[in-house]
Structure 1
């Protein structure tokens, strides 16, 4: 198509990846975000191979390798520290053609900001959209208006633009558990530095993953009723929730810095009925926020950006046609991931205690290659095989 102008709302992982892909395709792009300064939500993210491949396609593979952690194995352990399963990730890497990288979110966002060849306009809260046959205009609270040929709504799980696209308000759905996450110095008394260690028991979970600069990205999951009052002393709160768990779990609780630890009630969005209206396309969490139990949230946003760019580049039948093609491909893929991630969240966190108990037993007897092929199935269902 001719030289399109694209307005992107949201400068998270999805918005920035899309901005980079569109600029590399030769389109004019403006990226806006409502915040005064960009601070990513959450401390870390596991970027599986499908997300990394999108970055490879955008020429960012080498930079990603520098900020990603060296994760060679996954180890499942009981709450008291007995090994349930030790999974070599090399068969997965060979099957899908790319290693995964756990990464600190600030490192990932900074890498994407550095790679985006333009200014991200901050402190611009989008409050409305106007559309006609010629184009689409984003209206901002500060009075600014940005007009383009299409608008990408990458404005997150609490998207303002989702209601415009769907014609109804969709509230995020509680994923039944609370997650504490942060970064801590890596040391062997916590976990092997090349492994993803996951402790499970009592419908709870503790995880440590290696990221760059000799750190672990950690998280704790506890199933709690929505709106459970926050106890500001995270160390003693977690010590209570994980009383009697293995020594490395206790050491992690002692060492975490509560002022740099996030506490999040996990929610998801979808599956929804559509991702596109006219010249406006939902992308990333605004369309399909997932429970983080598959590690696919950021990866799906990256895939969205790549697929959207491909359709805009490869059709001459107009913007709306390209967006319909994008919706048809991405709705099916992302709906499946949202549903699979929710089922996994429920299985891990004791929504049906019998199912969770069976999962614990399965972990102890499962062939490691069954685990890696289940992960690779999710990865290979995406646009980059």
Structure 2
């Protein structure tokens, strides 16, 4: 078995978190290979909102400018009532001025492509399932089982998703993900003209999000309370049933959806924090470490943060096992807070009785009357995050 001193890293999972980790490690001079179970990197999902915290991390890796250029500008974002009335709205120019960056809405495929293009050819191996069989320790390498045999690694980054087999191996007593009560749909459509507004529309126990993309397409997402595992004969028809009487352009946009491209997924999250985000030589990243509901738009953003923080603690010559406790110390409190905040937002969206929704509407309307800086300040704990300097730099 090759010695630990080779300091080679293996990433399990070729989603946004895993690819960002691979790029961050590569830029630190650490040899890395990504093993992705699927036969291709065709993205699961449709669109993605890159908040200022994620854009700063991607800038550190050199791909932020490319993704900003792909984002569609729009004048305001906010929350509306199903009647179309604005409840709270924020100028995107004010948001960018306050945080130094916008929330950049891009197709998930574009993020995947930007990350892969920045990696050396051959880094990503698709159709290549990999599992951790030994997490290693300060004396022995981790061991990862692949279709080509067992591979030693000085570091394993497990970005293997919400049902992470690695997490189950490292923390078998943890209860795992819990169902949030929500199911979601995602789809991209191509209207004749772009909607004039972007943002979310909140109804009784459900919502719709409208996100214009730069190429004239529109990313739509929707959520509603539903039993876990419930499915409709036609998810396209189900969207039209649930939202067909909402304000324009919601019904018109859903009518344009290709029924075969409507994605539906239940929302599960890790509401019980893990005791650590590492064990031995294995670091958990993204949904494997802190799966969260999508109601703050931070799932992928926090995975991107994870990747940049982890790589910043490493050098090509130092043994990575010594840096992993610092990774947990940096990431566990922050991601736990974001998971909790997202779950609280979901609890507001879940309100569905007439009295409860009236109180929510009133509260949102009053919040919308607050000064813009007051509204933006509420997002500061998440959006103001700055990527750390890499090890060995100031």
Q: Give the TM-score taking structure 2 as reference length.
A: 0.90
Given candidates 64, 79, 83, the residue that maps to 1:80 is: 83
Which among 311, 314, 319 is matched to residue 312 of structure 1? 314
The RMSD of aligned alpha carbons is 2.3
Contact 1:89–1:372 under 8 Å retained in 2: no
Corresponding residue to 1:370 among 350, 371, 374 = 374
Counterparts in 2 of 1:162 and 1:43: CA distance versus 1, 3 Å: same
Match of 1:223 in 2: 225
2:180 is aligned with 1:179: no
> Which residue of the other structure, out of 134, 141, 147, is the alignment partner of 1:135?
141
Can you list the C-alpha shifts for 1:98-127, whole angstroms capped at 9, x where unaligned? 222111111111111111113211222223
- 8 Å Cα contact 1:50/1:384 also seen in 2: no
SS of aligned partner of 2:315:
helix
SS in 1 for 2:245: coil
Distance 1:30 1:83 in 2: 48
Distance 1:80 1:356, change over 3 A: closer
Residues 354/335 of structure 1: CA separation in 2 closer, same or farther (3 Å cut): farther
CA distance in 2, matches of 1:296, 1:160: 23
Q: How does 1:49-198 map to 2 (within 5 A)?
A: 49-119=52-122, 120-130=124-134, 131=136, 133-140=139-146, 142-186=147-191, 191-192=195-196, 195-198=197-200
Unaligned runs of 5+ residues in structure 2 are 390-394
Aligned partner of residue 226 in structure 1, secondary structure: coil
Distance in 2 (alpha carbons) for counterparts of 1:13 and 1:315: 26
| Alignment counterpart, residue 276 of structure 1, candidates 275, 278, 288 | 278
Alpha-carbon shift at residue 44 of structure 1 (Å)? 0.9
SS at match of 1:325: helix
Aligned to 2:336: 335
What does 1:209-248 align with in structure 2 at a 5 Å threshold? 209-228=211-230, 230-248=231-249
Aligned length, in residue pairs: 379
Per mean C-alpha deviation after superposition, the further-off stretch among 211-220 and 126-135 is 126-135
Query: TM-score, with normalisation over the residues of structure 1?
Result: 0.92
